Homo-oligomer: A and B are copies of this chain.
Amino acid sequence: MPKGVPTSIPDDGLTTRQRRNAPVLAVNTGDGKGKSTAAFGMAMRAWNAGMSVAVFQFVKSAKWRVGEESALRALGEVHTATGQGAPVSWFKMGSGWSWLRANDAAAADHAQAARDGWREIARCLASEEHDFYVLDEFTYPLDWGWIDVDEVVSVLSQRPGRQHVIITGRRAPAKLIDAADLVTEMVKVKHPMDAGRKGQKGIEW
């Protein structure tokens, strides 16, 4: 997309510089593909701009996001080795919320694990620990009522400093969409599985 002129200049008392540096809350939703993939693509870009990246993955499966995780972790190691880019952190719900429940992952209640994950995100935001957050598939615990949408919107709206947050998943709650700066809906036009194709490594995960 062209980086063109805004369609209007808001009367918000901010300078152009302040507006350019405003932290972004983005939501990628809809039933089509590319919601998370685009968020990870943005994370690559953020990494290159020197923003420390933190991914919070709200879906637990062995295969999920392995490609993105190891590529982003490799970029984190590039930063450690050469100083290029920025640090990368990756947290997984369930077994991955290890700072909270190292020893009872097998018995973890998913709703509680999701709430613990959100609590950790809120803590990170309050202390400005990262520059760029991907809350991957975070709309589901919101949609299922596991995490309170009003609290999430309140914490996100009041986050200090310049922390960008990208949230992905279907059925994003209306209050979250209202609070977001950038909302994109991915719409499925055609999918290989409709023609009986199977998912495959490197394409689907």
**Residues of A with Cβ closer than 8 Å to B?**
1, 3-4, 6-10, 12, 16, 19-22, 24, 28-30, 32-42, 44-51, 63, 66-68, 70-72, 74-75, 77-78, 84-85, 132, 164, 177, 180-205
Contacts and interface: CB of A to CB of B under 8 A. Distances in A.
Given A34-B184, A193-B7, A44 B19 contact: no
B198 A6 contact: yes
B198 A49 contact: no
A29 B190 CA distance: 12
B184 A189 contact: yes
Contact of A182 (B28, B30, B192): B192
Given A34-B186, A182-B191, 6 more contacts: A6-B193, A20-B198, A32-B186, A37-B45, A41-B44, A48-B202
A58 to B, nearest CB: 14
Given A40-B41, A48-B71, A74-B75, A181 B195 contact: yes
